[in-house]
Structure formats: structure tokens, C-alpha cells
Structure 1
Amino acid sequence: MKKYKFTILFLIVCAIFTVIIFFKARINASYFVFLPGYRSGVSIEQIDNEELKSFFKIIQKFNDGSQFVVVLHHPDGFFSPQVLSRAVELQERLSNLSYMKNVLSVINYSFRKPYFDGSTLDAAILEDPEASSFISKDGKYLLLYCTLSVNCDEDKALQEIDKILSDFRDLKAMPFGQLIINKHLFGEIMRQVFVYPAIIFLVILFIFYLQTRSLKASFVSLLIPVFANVIVYGVVSLLGVELNTMSVMCVSFLIIIGSAYGLHFYNGVVRFKDRVRKEMLTPIFFSMFTTSVGFLSFLFVEITAFRHLGLMVSSGLTLVFVILFSSGYELLRSEKPIKRGTLLLRLKSESLGRIMLVFSIVLVTMTFLFIPRIEVGMDQAAYFSKSSAIGQALAILTEKFSYREPVYVMVEKQSIFTMKDSQQIAKLVEDLRRIDGVSSVQFPMAYPIPTLVLMSRLQPAIHHFVADGRTIRIAVNLTEEGYRKAGEMKDRLREVLEEYPEYTFTVASAAFVVDQINSRIVASQVQSLTMSLLFIFGSVLFAFRNVLLSLLIVVPVVLTALSNFFFMGLLGLKLDVATSIVASILVGLVVDYSIHLAHDMRRTKDVFLSIENISMPVLANGLGLIGGFLVLVFSRLALFRDVSLLLILGIGFGVAFTLFSQPILIKSFAKNDVKQETTRKLS
């Protein structure tokens, strides 16, 4: 038992934290977690953010819950009495749900003239501009605007709504909205926690086994980051920190990255036997430290979700290091080297290295041409494939309705609205409709506002627009282009509203919240990448005490970071909240290879002999990372696919440059420095 005391200790600790995770873990799939000022355990309403304050001011005034639309489609069109009756039945069943506040459509909207007589729909509705946000120009698509009751159980509400929609497959009913997106994101988060890590574990186990031919060494290398994951998530759950679409990637990152340290440790067991801890302490520590620095650079970013991911991964990697040199040593120290069947590499191709150098120069040149073309911005709906329900609904909304997201304009007056105000509001609605980027404007102009106030007491469809005698709401629907330029749209709206000084306006939209997040992406990218490069160079300089050698060590790091933007431009990927973390992660990963090379040169005094010594573990590490991230390429979300694809390409470039081109640079520029450094030890 004493022989495995640390292993037993960590097993007990993991068992305790597993129970804590089961009872305490929480998940938040909302994009609000990317807002500056967001904190776990604090309600969204308490976030100190002007856009959110406006958003919730309107919601509270109208006593709204979450909102979404249901897209209906039938090839015969909704002017067919049979098809229309099915739509009416669906709306009635949704309206009768206890969770539903109101459902708005052509059936109950107050147009200037009645189009629905109870059984048929007048085709003249297609000529009415107000109807463009309810029915498509060909009459084959219909929208139901749904608002849930405030503080209802949204999970149960969605379950009942899904059951109802499943009874109307003939109408191809598809819900769309932030609530629906969050539901699908939640499902993907659960897969990120349980499904993908299990597949990653098996893929890396297979790759490591091919390299080592030791099932035990391969398994232990992967088991240690699993222990670290359980402890990290246990602590996070205990502290009440929510998992989100960003921090959930910690599970896969720790398994993919942390398992490499076990492989390096096993390689040390093969080479140094009982001296493995002494000989491998420094290179593995600096590998862990520099990778952690890449993630810790997220602490300098305003977005809390970034900080959580950085802290979780860096603390997890530290745990991997501690467990490896205690429990890992207990489990692997008796392992004997298996010489047959392992993959040993002898790499000394200066011609290939020079070709790689030329390619790198071309890549850097192309990168600066690609960077201005990289689109910046987060779009949660775009994370889903076009064939998914979210993707199909979005395609219909943009193509058939030129609709993407509503902007709510709350109009308040100190006194009661009068008949004269009705004329002014009608003029305002027309002015808003003429703004470029607006697809339609919703406000019932069939009756004067004083009449609407009376009607709102009995009709939920009217109450959606009228809160009381002093407050009304206008819905301004944005086109896809308007959504992407939400900041500009906000300025255009304000220009129009300033022409009506007699009213007080509150303008709010989820599009403005997303735009605020997007406005910080570039700054976050620059901050995290700059800090990670500075910290890593400082760490390498401290370790090797040689400026020239340290600069040569970070050359692959800088080139890999630049290659990330080259691949983004080449593949047409956006710089969003997910892809903006890739460059800093690559910096922390790729520097490991250079550190192992420089550390081994202290012993061999020959850069090419050191390449032979480290080529197998470096290549195995690179293949393990690539194999692990390759699993995430098959994720249902583009968010995870894009990140994993960029990491795969960046790691591949970094490994190739380190093994083939870096020896040439060191031989050419730091030959004397290497000889001097080999006589010194790391402090």
C-alpha cells in the first residue's frame, strides 16, 4: 500500500470531488457570459452593463419572459383553408400553455384592415408592409412570435413546446431564438464534458501505444489528466463557478495537453531509469509552465469566461505536473523499455529544413495580406451547421423574411398618449421602416393609441405593444446585414429618435449586446497574445540566461502564432470569442518542443543528436495533440470545430519547424552560445 500511497490519495480526493460535481456543478450556455462585468453566481440583471440595463428595463416594464419565433412552412401555402386551420390549431395550443404569455401572428395581429376572418386569409395581406414580418411573399412561410411568462421554468416550457410542435410535422415547425440556441448549446456542452473527452482518451491512447508499445505507460499518461480534471471541476463547482461554452473546453484541453507530460516522463524512465525525476523535472516543469503562461494570459482580458478558462487549464496542468511526479512515478518507475516495434526517428535533413524556412517566410508575408480580410465578430447562430434545425430556421428567416433580430424601442411619455400622439407615432414608425438595414417594423396602427390602451387589458397580442397609457413598444426587425452592423444600426436609430424630443426612448436588442462583445474581440486577442509572448520569452530567458538562444527558441512560437492568422484567412474563418484564444494556446504549446530541444543540447552539445533524442516524444506529443483535437473537428458546433482545426494546423506547423528548421537556425546563429550553455545548468 505504501508503494502507491500518492495514487491512493488522489483516488480518494477524486472520489470526493466527483460527488461534489454531481450535486454542485452548474452550466450557463448564454452568450451573456462573454460580457465584461459578468460574474458567476450573479444574476444577469445585476451585471453592470448599459445594454443589458436597457434590455431588462423593457422586459420588466412589459413583464416579458424569453422570446422566440416558430417558423412554419407548407408547400401549398397558408391561403389554403386546410393548411391555415392547422396553423390556427398550433397557435391555440401554444397559447393555452401555462408557460406562454402570448403568441403573435397574422391570425391575431391588429392590421389596418382585417385579413383573417376566422377560417381564411385574404391574399391582399401580401401587399401590406406590416405583414412582411409575419408571412413570406409567396405565402408558404409563416412566423409565430412567442413570449414566455416571466420567471417560468424554461426547460419544462421547451419540453412541452417541443411535444406540441412534433404534432405538426406537416407544417415543418422550427423554433428559433436565443432561448432555443442556448438549449442546443447546453446539449453540446454536455457532449464536451462526457462524450468527446472519452473519444479523445481512446484516440490518444492508441497513438501513444503505437509510439511506446506500453499500454500501461500510455494509460497512465492519460489517467493523470483525468484526475486533474476531476479536481479542477470539483473546486470550480464548490466555488459556485458556472461552466460555459468557453470554460467547458478545459476537459478536452487537459486530456490532450496534459497527457503529453506523461509521455515525456515515460521517455525519461526509458532513458534515465531511477534518475527520471531529477532529469525530467526541469524540461517538464518548463513545458507545463510555458503552456500555463499561454492560458494565464487570458487573465489580462476583460471577458470573465476567458479568465475562467485560463485559470482552470493552467491550474489543471499544474496538477498534472504534481500528480505525475508523485503518483505517476509510483506507477511508471518499474516500467522497462520496450525496444521492439517502437517508432524511433532520426531526423537530419537540412534540405527539408531550408525548404521549411522558405515556406515560413512566404507564410509570414501572406499572413499580413490575409489579416485585414479576416472578419471579426461572434454569431452564435452561425456556430450551427446549415443542415441543423437552427441553421435551417435561420436560412428561412434571412431569405424569406430578411429578418434576423428585433430591436425594441420603448416609447415613454410623461402624460397620457393622445390622438395627436397616434399621428406622431405613425410618422415615427414610417421613419424607422425607411432605415437601411431594417426589414420591417411592428406596431398596430389600426387603432389610435388610447384605444389600444383599452384593448390591451383584454388582448395579450395588443399588450405586447402597449404596457400602459404612458408606455408603448415598437419592434424594429433587422436584416442579416443590419444584425452584423448592429453598432451602426443603433446610431441610425438614435438619429431618427432624436427628431422626437417629446418622448423618452429606451432602445435595446440582443444584437447590441453581441456587438458590444464583438467590439472587444480584437483587443482581447492583442492583449492575450502580447502577454503570452512576453511572459514566455521572459521564462525562457530566465531558464537559459542567453538572449540569442532564447530568441531562437521562441522563433517557432512567433511563426506558429502568425501561421494561425494565415490559416484563418485561408479557410475564411472569423476571429470570434472562440478562435481568438487559439494563438495564445499555440504559443504555450509549441514552445515546449524548443525547450526540450535546448535542454537536451546541454547534455549532447550537438543539436542534431538532440533532435534524434527528442524526435520520438516530440512527434508523439504532436500526433497526440493533433489526434485529440481531430476528435473535436467532428463536433456539431462550428465553435469547437474552428478552434480544433486551427490548433491542428498550428501544432503541425510548429512541430515541423522545430524538428527540421530550428536546428539550422541554432547551428547557424548560436553555435558558440550552445557550447557555452551546455556547461551550465538551469537555475
Structure 2
Amino acid sequence: MLKKLARIIVKYRVAFSLIALFLLILSLYGVQLLEFESDLTKQLPQDLPAVRDYLTLQNEFQSGDSALIIVKVASIEEGGVYDIRDPEVIKSIYELEERLREHEYVTNTMSIADIFIQILGRLPENEEEVKFVLNTLPPEALQGLISSDYRTTMVIATLTAGSGSQAVQRIYEDIERDIKEVRFPKNVEVIQTGTIGITYRILTMLQGDLNRTMTIALIFVAFLLIYFYKSVFRAMLPLIPLVFGVIMTLGFMGLLGIPIDMVTTVVGAMIVGMGIDYGVHVTNRYFEERKKGRSIEEAAEEAVAETGKALLGAALTTIAGFSALSLSLLPSLRRLSFALIMGLSLAAINAVVITPSLIMLYEDIMKKIKGKHEVPEIRAHSGFIAKSFNTLGMIIKGHPKTTLLAVSLMTLVFLYGLTQVTTEVRLEKMIPEGIPEIEAMKDVRYEFGGQDEVDFIVKAEDVRNPAVVRAIYRFEQEILADSHYNNVFETNSIADVVVRKYGYIPEDKEKIKEAIKEGGAPVNDDYSMTLIQLKGNFGGANPENFRAIMHYFEEQAKSADFPPGVEIRPAGDLYLNYVLDGLTSQELSKISTYGSVLVVLVVVLLFRRPLVSIAMVLPMFLGALWTVGYMGLAGIPFTQTLAGVISMIVGLGVDYGMHLTHRFLEELREGNPYPIISALEGVGPGILVGALTTAGGFLALLSGELTAIHDFGKTLAVGIFASMFAAFTVTPALLQIFYGKKIRGEEK
């Protein structure tokens, strides 16, 4: 069947090329429609209780994001201010607040300037007035606004609920413009951080990382191919179809409305890394057949037919591994699954259809230039590389059991690494150290105790019921009593509003209604819901403490002493991060198991030989085990980006064992007395080139700015090299053990 398909592809290569060109033009239009997404709720199932509570928070209480603007004396140059209490600084802060309030999405602002307006009715005119007002206030009133050394303060802007990359970009840029238009005194530095600032930085990094990593991956792959093929033009043969595949993938993502988020931003570099493998194997087999003296048509047909079998199996197993991601509860992983399957399918089709057409076109052009066809000499089949694979084949042929013993001893080291693996899903931890928004957030946590917020949604028939208000007050006091453990430094609720007005919580419901009406307490329109707002340092804690604090909040909500029929549940951005963390751990196990099972099923169905299947799939399991062990040893945590990495490595790792096994069986059928050596000599260079280019594509992710993208690139590159090493050692050793007697019998 593949022989017939190969003849059709060779015969109608021009028509197929024109179809590919049309799809390329359509894809270029789709690329312009690509959108970037950073909304955490879009990465979680919409029917999840935590997501529903988060949406309730936004819809019922108009709870949106917050912009924290740090104002600090960053230097002590002469002619500038040295203290944040300088009247000129306070005047500039108030001017900034006025500008912020002009935006329709800003619901409230708060700063030290407001204190002077409330007490003096105006801004202070000199430092004496500033110090007089601040000295009249209790220390706790200033703790959240002015640092102990009086060099840092902040402006807090509360925003209406909004989502989408365009809204975040607009708000961030508006606030940045306001900051620049306000003339702060010399020595004063103003930095925007908080939810908006960090989200905006992630969005800009996502856009930059997608373009940068994809470009570097293509350049790296191109140089590697030039080295192996000894020619720029021959290197372009597998590269051009790959570029087609990448553009088509991104184009169809735009046309189908699949956004680029923290997970799918790696698609471009991944398709470059993985897709080149297909084109390399077709090109290598073609040049190998030409070296044997076949015509260009015969060589193309043989390359498509014989390599096509292994490519079909490799593509199916890789797709099987990636399809496990579609079974995830996380929408971002499902989107990644679809994008990768689509991209790899396009890359494989382009490799089988476009690559032979380009090779034959190249040969025809060279014939017109030189007057005859010349058999090209490539580095992959000669010199040091060829000798290395011949030597490796002889060693494994003579000592298969010793080879497996050495691999087993190496595996013990990585088994220890498995015990050290952790997870991390907080968005701010995806940004590298040194970024202004993150450094400013550190100032907030160090100087002001933190401005992270966790809310508890309280649902009742009427939250103004005295029994409910008293229960809320007791709950707050219990939380504050554990502040040394939970990092909470401030709470706010309707109970606080009532206590501030009366000094106690009255039994008279009408008095409570009056206090709530006057105090602006956080309640919804029909008084069926209210909030208990906690502020503190939650997001800055290490992963273990963060989980412990969020778990503490969950347990407190479950054991809270509230009247019958009253519900209380944690909510908010940070709690969503915690929920995502738990889901990531669950999904990791599920996806890895399903991916492995699907790959094994595909291998068994394709080859229907138990021993052959074992030789193919064992390297992929070892590659995945070594990779996760490396993550533990290197301190790389599992993130939402890396949640499907095992499934990916399983899908990719089986390809190398499949190519070797397929060639071994082909040599065995033809009566070759040294099938192990011939298989390693024949497809070993192609696997090496494919692994180097694939790993190079992944290592290009190190050029990205986001920490999660760095970790993803390093981990997958290690996974590729681990799978290749396992395939070069374990697969041939097992095949030699399984088929040794038959081979020796044929030798006699």
C-alpha cells in the first residue's frame, strides 16, 4: 500500500506542492488572528466549584484585579528628596490618584495622600504638617502604607472585574501613562506591580517568547542540518516542509480560536523540534538509496515507502502520547493536545509529500547546472559518525547483557530523583528574578506585610442577621490569632464595619442594617452573600507553606462555627492557584498513565509481536523515568506547562526504538548476518540528527524569559537525549537477546 502511495506522491508531486502552498497562504492569514491568554480561569474547568466562586466574587461584588503602584526613594542624589514624607512626593501621589480615578474601570484608590485629605481637608504644605498628622495615627494604621524607614509607600487601585489580554494591556498601559505624566521629584522611582502588572508582564513575555524561541529553534536546526548534509541547499530539503508545518499549525490555531497561553506558547518550538525528525529520516533514507545506485524516482519511492512505515508508526505513537493530554480536566492541556496533534500531523504529511518533491527538484536543478546527476555525500553516513555507530553495534552485539546491567545501575540514581519532585503553579513564580514587577512585589511583602488577598464567600438567607455577623467576627478573630502561621495581617468584613460603629455587635438587626449601609461593607445587592477579606503574604511563601496556608483556610471554612444553613468557602486568585496546583498533581498521574497505555496499545497493534513491542517501548519508559528523576535532582517543579511532559516524552521516546526495530527486522528478513550493526549504521545517524535537532528546538526555549518556559525546554531536551540513549543501548541489546539464536543459526 505504501509503495503505491509513494508512486502517487512521486508522480503528482507538483499538484501536492500547490495544495501545500494554498494551505500555507491560508495559514499566514490565520497567524494574524492568534490571541494571547493569561486569565487563570480559562486554564481551569468552568464547572469547578473554585471557578464558580471566583466568578461569583467578580459578578456579585464587582471584585476585579488590583494595581499596586510602589513609590520609593531609590537613590540619594543631591537636589532630590530623601524621604517619602516630603510634601512634593505626597502631592505627586495625590495627582496620580486623581488621574487613576478618571478611568471608568478604577473603583477606588488608596494612599497616604488620602490620610491628609481626611484629617487636614487638604494636602500638607510642609514636612512639619506631614509628621504631625502621621504621629497622631496609631502604628497599625500606617503599617500597610509606609515602610519603617519612610522610603517606600504605595498607591492601591481597585479595578472592576475584567479579563482578556487586551483589557489587561489597556489598563496597564493607561496606568503607566498616568505615572509618566505625573512629575515625581528627583530620586523617586514609581513601579507598577500587583495582579495587573504581573499579568501584563507574563503576556508580553508570552508574545516575545513565542517568536524568539521559534526563530532560534529554526536557526539552530538549520545550522545542524547544514553540518550533517554538507550543503546549505541540501539542508533546506527537510527544513522547508517543516517551516510549512509550523506556519500551518499556528495559522490553524488562529483560525480555530486556540489562544497562546502559558501552556501553548511552546507549540512553535516543539513542532520545530519534533517535526524535523520526520523530514530528516526521509531525506537520510533517500540519500542512502541514491548511494546504492538507485535513480532519483526509485530512491524517492523507497524512502517514502520504507521510511513511511516507521514514520507512520512513530507519528501514531507520538499522537497517542499527546492524545492523553486531551483527557485532562485542564482546558489548557486539552488545547495543547489538539495543537500538537494537528502540528505533528501536518509536519509528518509535509515530510512525506513535500520533502521528496523538493529533493527531486533539487536533483533536477543540479543536473542542469552540472550536466549530470551526482550522488551527494552526507556526513551522517561517513567518517567519525559512521564508525561510531559501527563500533557501538559491535559492542552491543557482543555484550548485550552487560549493556543492560550498566543501564540498570544508572537508573538507580534517577529513582532517587523521583522522590524529590514538587509542583508549582503560581503565576508570579513563572517570572524570573530581577523583573521590576516581581522585585516591587517583594518590597510590598517585606515592607508592608504583603498585599495578597484571599476572600471567604459567606452565603446566608440574610447576612445582616446578628447571629451571622457574630459568627463572622469570631471567624476573623480565630484567623488573626493564627497570624504567625497563616501570614494574615489584616481582615475586613461586615462585622468590622458594625464593631467600628457601635463598639460591639448589637442584637438589633436594624442597627446592623444601618451600620452596613453607612460603612460600605462587602455585601451583594440582595444581602444573601458577603465577604470576609484577608490580606497578608500568601503568594510569596515557598510552595510547601503556600499549600499549607491555603489548606488551613479550607479547613477553617469547613470547621467554622456558623448558624445552620450558612455556607462559607474560600475564593480568589490565589485560591485558584492552589486548586490548580492540586489538579496538576492529579492530572500528572492520570495523563502519564493514559499516555503510556495508549502508546503501548498502538505499538502492539502495529507490530503484533510481544518481544518486538518490549524492545520498542522499554526505552520510552526509561527515558520518561530518567527525565522525571532529573527534574527532582535539578529542582525543577511540575507546573501547568510541564503537567503533560511525561506523556510527551513517552510519545516521542518510542519513535527512536521504533525506527531501530523496524530497520533491524528489515535487515533480518533480507538475511543480513549482522542486523544489529546494520540497523545502528543505517538509522542511527538519522536518529542522532533528529534527536539533536529536536533537543535543539526545545533548548531554544531557554532563550525565553519565562521561568516555566526555561524549565519546559530543559526538561524535554533531557527527555529526548535520555530516550535516544536508551534506544541506542536498550533496544539493540534486547533485540540481540531475543533474536540472537536465530541470527547465529543464519550465520552458520
Normalised TM-score (structure 1): 0.86
Paired residues of 2:269 and 2:700 also in contact (CA < 8 A) = no
Kindly tell me: are residues 77 and 327 of structure 1, through their superposed partners in 2, closer, same or farther at Cα, counting changes over 3 Å?
same
**Contact conserved, 1:95 with 1:101, CA < 8 A, in 2?**
yes
Structure 1 residue 448 corresponds to structure 2 residue 454? no
Name the counterpart of 1:305.
Answer: 332
Corresponding position: 1:180 with 2:207: no
Mark the CA change 1:204 to 1:133 in structure 2 (over 3 Å): closer, same or farther.
same
Question: Partner of 1:13 in structure 2?
Answer: 23
- C-alpha spacing 1:64/1:511, structure 2 compared with 1 (3 Å): closer
Change (3 A) 1:226 1:126: farther
8 A Cα contact 1:74 1:141, kept in partner: yes
Distance in 2 of aligned mates of 1:87 and 1:63: 25
Name the aligned partner's letter for residue 476 of structure 1: L
Bigger CA radius of gyration:
2
Q: Aligned runs of 1:54-69 on 2, under 5 Å?
A: 54-69=53-68
Match of 1:439 in 2: 488
Once the two structures are superposed, residues 86-131 of structure 1 have per-residue CA deviations (whole angstroms, 9 ceiling, x without a partner) of: 33333333233343211123444799x9699843255558964454
CA distance in 2, matches of 1:268, 1:105: 70
Alignment check: 8 A CA contact 2:423 2:638 kept: yes
Q: Specify which of 235, 238, 249 is matched with residue 266 of structure 2.
A: 249
Q: Which residue of 1 aligns with 2:427?
A: 380
Cα distance between partner residues in 1 of 2:469 and 2:326 = 52
1:539–1:59 CA distance, 2 compared to 1 (3 A): closer
Which of the residues 630, 633, 636 maps onto 2:702?
A: 633
- Map 1:477-556 → 2, pairs under 5 A: 477-480=535-538, 481=541, 483-494=546-557, 497-499=560-562, 505=568, 507-556=570-619
Name which of 586, 598, 622 aligns with 2:649. Answer: 586
Deviations 1:586-645 (A, max 9, x none): 112221111111111123332022111222111111111122112111210011110110
Separation in 2 of the partners of 1:125 and 1:615? 79
Q: What is aligned with 2:252?
A: 235
Separation of aligned partners in 1, 2:466 and 2:501: 6
**How do 1:531-680 and structure 2 match up within 5 A?**
531-605=594-668, 606-672=675-741
Q: Greater CA deviation, 142-151 or 625-634?
A: 142-151
- SS in structure 2 of the partner of residue 477 of structure 1: strand
609-618 or 128-137: bigger deviation? 128-137
* Identical positions, percent: 16
Contact 1:381 / 1:394 at 8 angstroms: preserved in 2?
Answer: no
- Does the residue aligned with 2:534 lie in a helix, a strand or coil? strand
| Inter-partner Cα distance in structure 2 for 1:432 and 1:110 | 32
State the Cα distance separating 1:580 from its structure 2 match.
2.1
Summarize deviations over 1:416-448 as a string: whole Å, max 9, x none: 859999887665543332233133224365842
- CA distance in 1 between counterparts of 2:208 and 2:517 reads 46
| Partner Cα separation in structure 2 for residue 496 and residue 80 of structure 1 | 48
The Cα shift of 1:570 comes to: 0.9
> Which residue of the partner structure matches residue 72 of structure 2?
73
Post-superposition offset of 1:677: 13
Change (3 A) 1:433 1:109: farther
1:26 pairs with 32, 35, 39, which one? Answer: 35
Aligned AA for 1:72? V
User: Quick one: which amino acid aligns to residue 723 of structure 2?
Assistant: G
1:192-242 CA-partner distances (Å, limit 9, x unpaired):
443321221111011011011233342232222332233334433333333
2:243 counterpart residue number: 226
CA distance in 1, matches of 2:523, 2:328: 41
Match of 1:204 among 212, 215, 221: 221
* CA gap 1:88/1:249 in 2 versus in 1, 3 angstroms: same
Counterpart of 2:65 in 1: which secondary structure? strand
Aligned equivalent of 1:289 = 316
SS of 1:29's partner is coil
Amino acid at match of 2:313: F
RMSD over aligned CA atoms reads 3.6
CA contact (8 A) 1:630 1:648 kept: yes
Other-structure match for 2:208: 191
**Structure 2 vs 1, CA of residues 677 and 304 (structure 1 numbering), >3 Å: closer, same or farther?**
farther
Conserved? CA contact 1:533–1:587, under 8 Å: yes
2:221/2:697 contact within 8 Å kept:
yes
1:286–1:674 Cα change, 3 Å: farther
Are the structure 2 counterparts of residues 603 and 170 from structure 1 closer, same or farther at C-alpha, using a change threshold of 3 Å? same
Q: CA deviation at 1:299?
A: 1.9
CA separation in 1, counterparts of 2:100 and 2:106? 7
Decide whether the 8 Å contact of 1:386 with 1:392 is kept in 2.
yes
Equivalent of 2:109 in 100, 103, 119: 103
Deviation of residue 134 (structure 1)? 3.2
Distance 1:65 1:528, change over 3 A: closer
The answer on 1:392 being equivalent to 2:439 is: yes
User: Are the counterparts in 1 of residues 380 and 685 from structure 2 also a CA contact under 8 Å?
Assistant: no
Matched residues in 1 for 2:714 and 2:514: separation? 58
Q: Is the 8 A contact 1:602 1:677 kept in 2?
A: no
What amino acid sits opposite 2:107 in the alignment? K
Q: 1:164 aligns with which of 165, 174, 178?
A: 178
One-letter amino acid matched to 2:274: I
Would the aligned equivalents of 2:246 and 2:347 in 1 still touch at CA under 8 Å?
no
- 2:282 aligns with 265
Q: Distance in 2 between matches of 1:205 and 1:291?
A: 23
Q: Superposition pairs for residues 325-340 of structure 1, below 5 Å?
A: 325-333=352-360, 335=363, 337-339=375-377
How far apart, in 2, do the equivalents of 1:340 and 1:507 lie?
63
How far apart are residue 139 of structure 1 and its match? Answer: 3.6
Post-superposition Cα deviations, 1:347-369, rounded to whole Å, max 9, x if no partner, equal: 22438988875564344323333
Does the 8 A contact of 2:107 with 2:159 survive in 1? yes
Tell me the distance in 2 between the aligned counterparts of 1:672 and 1:316: 43
Q: CA deviation at 1:283?
A: 1.2
Taking a change above 3 Å as real, the CA distance of residues 432 and 199 of structure 1, as seen in their structure-2 partners, is: same
In the alignment, structure 2 segments of 5+ residues that lack a partner are 1-10, 75-81, 125-129, 290-298, 364-373, 503-509, 669-674
The answer on whether the counterparts of 1:74 and 1:170 sit within 8 Å (CA) in structure 2 is yes
Q: Could you tell me the TM-score, scaled by structure 2's length?
A: 0.79
Report the counterpart of residue 35 of structure 1 in structure 2.
44
Aligned AA (2:681): E
Query: What is the aligned length?
Result: 663
Greater Cα offset, 385-394 or 476-485: 476-485
The residue that corresponds to 2:79 in the other structure is none
The alignment partner of 1:498 has SS state of: coil
Tell me how far 1:550 sits from its aligned partner: 1.6
